[in-house]
Amino acid sequence: MQPADLPELKDYSPASLDSYFGGILALFEKEAAAAGTPDELEQLRIRWIGRKQGLLVGISEDVKKAPADQRREVGKRFNALKSAIEPRCDPEQAQARTPSAAESAAESIDITLPGTRRALGAEHPLIRTMNEIVTVFAAMGYSVGLGPEVETDYYNFESLNFPPGHPARDTQDTLVIAQQERKPLRDRLLMRTHTSPVQIHTMEQQPPPLRIVIPGKVHRNDAADATHSPIFHQVEGLCVDTNITFSDLKGTLDHAMKAFFGSSVKTRFFPSFFPFTEPSADVQISCIFCGGRGCRKCKQSGWIELLGCGMVDPAVFGLVARQQPAYDPKKISGFAFGMGVERIAMMKYGIGDISQLYSGDMRFLEQFR
C-alpha cells in the first residue's frame, strides 16, 4: 500500500482536520485488525511508524506545514493519533489489547462438546522389561548406574582384559568412530559393544563394597534380522565385597530368574568364556513355555540360554586398583553378569521379530498398555 491511501489534507479548518485524522485512524484500524501474525504486525509497524518511511513521518510533515495559528491544534491531533497507533504496533501491547484469533474463536466454541482426547502413552516393552529386571536387583540392595555409549578402546576392551589383538575382540563387531587413527589405541573412540565398561567406571569412582545394575544401549556391526539388531540393550550387574563366592553368584541369579519369570523356573550354569571373568558361565533357565519338557521354542532341549556371568577376573581388579587401591584382588572378590534385554522381552511378551520393538508402530505398542 502506498501513502496515496491516506486521506488528503485540504485545509486546516477543524472539519477538514477531523476528517483527515479520522480517516487516517480508520485506515490504521483496518490494517491493524488484519495483522494477526507477528510477521504481519512487524509489517504494520514498519509501514506506520518506521523511522524513515513510516506513514507518520509523512504526516508529521503535513503538520509542520500548518500555518502558525493552527499548529497547536494540528499538533494536538497528531499526538493523539500517534499515541493511538504506537502501542498497537508493539507486539506485547498489541496482544494485550486485541484478542488473538484463538481468543475470538474460543468465544464461539461449544463447551458442551467433548474435548480433544489425548491418547495415554504406554511404557515401551523394552524399557518396561529393563525396569522390571532392575527392580528385581534393586530389591536385593543393588543401586542403578549408567555410563556413556561412546567409549574409549580402553574401557570397552583393555580394562576388561581384552588386550589389543586378543581374539575375543572379534566376537564383538565393533562400530568405531572415524578419524581416531592418530590417537594411541587405548584412547580411540568407539560405540560401546556391551555395558561391561560401566563396571570399570563404577569401580574407579567408588570403593567396595559395591552392588550395581547398569541398564543401557549397546551397538554392534551386526546385520539386522528377526533376532539381531545393530543397536540393542543390556543389563549389566556387578557385586564386589570381601568373600564373594561363586555360590553367591548362583544364588543371586537363581533368585533373580525366579523373581522375574516365576518361582517354578530352574537355572543351570554352564562353563563359558569371557575375558573379564574367571571362571565364566552361561546361565540357562528351564523353558518358560513348556516347563522343561521340550518344545519348539527351546528346540526340544527344555532349557533356554539367557545370560553370561562369572567371577570378576583378578586381572580386572588389578587394573582398577591403579586408581582405587581398595580393589586389591588379594582382599576382595566379586561377580558380574550381563544379559540382553531384547531376547528377554521377546520371550516374555511372545514377540517374534525384534524389529517390531523399534518400529514405533502404534498397533504394536498399544498391546502393552
CA 110/CA 51 separation, integer angstroms: 45
CB 306, min distance to ligand DAH, A: 11
Q: Is there a contact between 81 and 24 (Cβ–Cβ < 8 Å)? A: yes
CB 357, min distance to ligand DAH, A: 18
Q: Is the peptide bond before 279 cis (omega within 30 degrees of 0)?
A: yes
Q: Is the peptide bond before 208 cis (omega within 30 degrees of 0)?
A: no
Q: Give whichever of 199 and 286 is closer to ligand DAH, judged by the CB atom.
A: 199
Q: Give whichever of 196 and 333 is closer to ligand DAH, judged by the CB atom.
A: 196
CB 116, min distance to ligand DAH, A: 45
Q: Is there a contact between 213 and 145 (Cβ–Cβ < 8 Å)? A: yes
R_g (Cα) of the chain, nearest Å: 37
Q: Give whichever of 35 and 218 is closer to ligand DAH, judged by the CB atom.
A: 218
Q: Give whichever of 28 and 159 is closer to ligand DAH, judged by the CB atom.
A: 159
Q: Give whichever of 17 and 316 is closer to ligand DAH, judged by the CB atom.
A: 316
CB 194, min distance to ligand DAH, A: 3
CB 338, min distance to ligand DAH, A: 2
Chain length of the chain: 369
CB 362, min distance to ligand DAH, A: 32
Virtual torsion, Cα 317, 318, 323, 328, nearest 10 deg: 70
Residues that bind ligand DAH (CB under 6 A): 194, 196, 236, 274, 277, 308-310, 336-338
Q: Is there a contact between 246 and 269 (Cβ–Cβ < 8 Å)? A: no
Side chain identity, residue 364: F
Q: Give whichever of 41 and 253 is closer to ligand DAH, judged by the CB atom.
A: 253
Q: Give whichever of 309 and 344 is closer to ligand DAH, judged by the CB atom.
A: 309
The beta strands (E) that lie in the chain are given as: 143-144, 150-152, 189-191, 210-219, 231-241, 267-274, 277-286, 303-312, 333-340
Side chain identity, residue 274: F
CB 295, min distance to ligand DAH, A: 26
Q: Give whichever of 45 and 194 is closer to ligand DAH, judged by the CB atom.
A: 194
Q: Residue 156: CB partners within 8 Å, gap ≥ 6? A: 174, 190, 192, 193, 194, 196, 197
CA 113/CA 11 separation, integer angstroms: 58
CB 274, min distance to ligand DAH, A: 4
CA atoms within 13 A on the CB side of 329: 14
